[in-house]
Amino acid sequence: MSTRLSKEKIHHLSKSILDVLNRDDDVEFLDEPNEIRLIIVRAIDEEMKLYELLDKKAVDKIQSQKKSIEEGSREWDILYRKYYNEELSKLGKLSE
């Protein structure tokens, strides 16, 4: 259920974030802009991996049920959201 961002989208996001930071007079770069952009890319990639792990844990919990639950069914969606949010709360993150 999780959506992976393509490398192109991650690079586009990193450039957009860097552009916003460049326009902010209160932000001073202590490194080259490309180094900052690469740090942003790594941060986005690490965050995506974290959410993929949460997705896998939620799916694994659903699949470990005694009763077979069909993916895409209402019951599956409800359990997925429940288990995903449980894993998210374990990290101290706010769920939507």
Looking at the whole model, is its pTM more than 0.75?
no
Domains identified in the chain, total number: 1
Q: Kindly state whether residue 60 falls inside one of the protein's structural domains.
A: yes
Q: Kindly state whether residue 1 falls inside one of the protein's structural domains.
A: no
Q: Kindly state whether residue 96 falls inside one of the protein's structural domains.
A: no
What secondary structure, in 3-state letters, does 14-81 show? HHHHHHHHHHCCCCCCCCCHHHHHHHHHHHHHHHHHHHHHHHHHHHHHHHCCCCCCCCCCHHHHHHHH
Q: Kindly state whether residue 95 falls inside one of the protein's structural domains.
A: no
Q: Kindly state whether residue 11 falls inside one of the protein's structural domains.
A: yes
Q: Kindly state whether residue 57 falls inside one of the protein's structural domains.
A: yes
Domain holding 70, by residue range, is 7-90
Q: Kindly state whether residue 45 falls inside one of the protein's structural domains.
A: yes
Q: Kindly state whether residue 65 falls inside one of the protein's structural domains.
A: yes
Would you give per-residue pLDDT tens digits along the chain (96 residues)? 556 789 999 999 999 999 999 999 999 989 999 999 999 999 999 999 999 999 999 999 999 999 999 999 999 999 999 999 999 888 875 544
